[in-house]
Amino acid sequence: MRELPTGTGAAEARPSDASHRPGAHVRERDILLATKLRVPRSRPDILVRPRLLDRVEEAAARELLLVSAPAGFGKSTLLAEWARATNRPVGWVSLDSDDNDQVRLWRYLLAAVEQVHPGLQERVLPLLDTPDQPTPEAVVTAIVNELTASPSEFAVVLDDYHVIESPPLQTSIAFLLERLPPGMHVVIAGGSDPPLPLGRMRGRGQLAEVRAEDLRFTREEAVALLREIWGLELPEQSVAVLEERTEGWVTGLQLAALSLRAGSDPADLIRGFSGGHRYVLDYLTGEVLERQPADVRRFLLDTSILERLSGPLCDAVTGCSDGQQMLEGLERANLFLVALDEQRRWYRYHRLFADLLRVRLQRQEGGAERVAELHRSAAAWCVDRGLIDDAVRHAMAAGEARWAARIVEHRVDEAQGLVHGYSVAIGWGAGILAAAALLTTIMINAGRPPRRGDAARSTGEGTPRLRRHRTAIAADSQRHATGGWVRICASASV
């Protein structure tokens, strides 16, 4: 096992020399953030679906287009193809669970609109930087006023919107939808219907919808995809059964194609599965994995703990040195790996596939220890690159809450307000962990385990180094109080 920083002295959790290169951290973080604002890359093996592109083009003329269907139905692919094809300027945000924060979400939204309305951020961003956060209503009003002054047609896609769970955020997005400036169209894509005033908008003719029934691959599309795009010589009858069993669910078709390409017998494969998506996915993932060479299988399982992958990070986790080649090979093989930037530095697995890989990794003999070890290695790499939120997340996943606390403590200053306003810097999902970890440190330093309400009370005690940040932790913890950080603190108590 890798050696971990263990004590509480200042020498511990010290970044490697490489990480002290000026700007190195900022660059890595910036690259990662930029990937969220980019229309996902196209692939050469995508079947263009004109009926759906026309449908989206027409639907996007309404105030809100909702694209709602279960995971892996082709929502993002369709919208990305449309964004490239349409004449309308399109801004894009790929959301993730860290974005459950007003400031962070509105920053992304602004950045997306900025892509089509240059100059907007400059005028509105200062509003978000005050010590007393402006109300979301004030931010929306400022955006609407700015855009009303220079109206033009454009759309903003919020992909993976289902990760937004915070009720105040839904309220502020609803507030925006009620007051959309002329020319602005919003496209929301996700796995479930968002708690927004959809009924009202539908009634007013402001809402268009694209759903699973629309996204399902028809028989003709399945034939074209399997035969022409993926080059599988399958009898028409087999394609028909595949389409029927997967109910036109493109992820099922893709997995079946991967398995067939790797040598499965079509009749056997088709006989082997039916039932719900989860079952089909599990079955087909097993088939696909079994047919990979051992080193690829190992790589897929080990790296499944990563939310985003780069060659060097994969090397740190697997202990091998072929991470970049592996990633490029998996992308070429269409193995559910998506490149996030043009330079092919960062990738991510398709969520469904990653979930299944993680379950399999955990199920293996010694799985739990292996998972912790992989997270530890990932955390150490992230610490060195200044990816503090990822480092804390991995350290917590490895069960190393005290280490997470020290990572935060030693990086508090550098992470420019990781605690105060960390919601801006890293998102409050990870921020709560960070605050919890830091709070734990305070409590450990104070010689007793943390208890509920400690964040609010901690304003009067602790080391001088932490005093500067305590009020902010208390305020943030109160503001986002979900009990989550209390639980984490409790589990980290000594």
Q: How far is the CB of 131 from ligand ATP (least distance, A)?
A: 37
285 sits near Mg ion (criterion: CB under 5 A): no
Q: Which span sits near ligand ATP by CB under 6 A: 73-81, 141-149, 316-324, 354-362?
A: 73-81
Among 29, 36, 62, 75, interactor with ligand ATP by CB under 6 A? 75
Q: Are 300 and 331 in contact (CB under 8 A)?
A: no
For residues 276 and 245, give the distance between their C-alpha atoms in angstroms, rounded to a whole number: 9
77 sits near ligand ATP (criterion: CB under 6 A): yes
74 binding partner (options Mg ion, ligand ATP, none; Cβ < 5 to 8 Å by kind): ligand ATP
Residues 254-273 within binding reach of ligand ATP (CB under 6 A): 254
Token pair 């960062």: residue: 346
494 in helix, strand or coil? Answer: coil
Strands (E), 297-453: 337-339, 347-349
Q: Which span sits near ligand ATP by CB under 6 A: 64-72, 302-310, 322-330, 371-379?
A: 64-72
Residues 360-419 within binding reach of ligand ATP (CB under 6 A): none
Torsion of CA 460, 464, 466, 472, to 10 degrees: 50
Instruction: Mark 328-367 with x for binding to ligand ATP (rule: CB under 6 A) and - for no binding.
Output: --------x-------------xxx---------------
365 in helix, strand or coil? Answer: coil
76 sits near Mg ion (criterion: CB under 5 A): yes
For residues 432 and 162, give the distance between their C-alpha atoms in angstroms, rounded to a whole number: 20
Token pair 């070890």: residue: 373
94 binding partner (options Mg ion, ligand ATP, none; Cβ < 5 to 8 Å by kind): none
46 binding partner (options Mg ion, ligand ATP, none; Cβ < 5 to 8 Å by kind): ligand ATP
Helical pair 401-411 and 388-397, crossing angle rounded to 10 deg: 160
In the structure encoding, which two tokens stand for residue 438, read together? Answer: 């830091």
- CA angle 389/129/471 to nearest 5° reads 65
In the structure encoding, which two tokens stand for residue 119, read together? Answer: 């100059």
In the structure encoding, which two tokens stand for residue 71, read together? Answer: 């995971």
Q: How far is the CB of 246 from ligand ATP (least distance, A)?
A: 11
Among 71, 314, 356, 374, interactor with ligand ATP by CB under 6 A? 71
Q: How many CA atoms lie within 13 A of 202 on its CB side?
A: 6
Among 49, 107, 348, 376, interactor with ligand ATP by CB under 6 A? 49
- Looking at the Cβ atoms of 115 and 251, the one nearer to ligand ATP is 251
Residues that bind ligand ATP (CB under 6 A): 46-47, 49, 69, 71-77, 160, 191, 225, 250-251, 254, 336, 350-352
Residues that bind Mg ion (CB under 5 A): 75-76
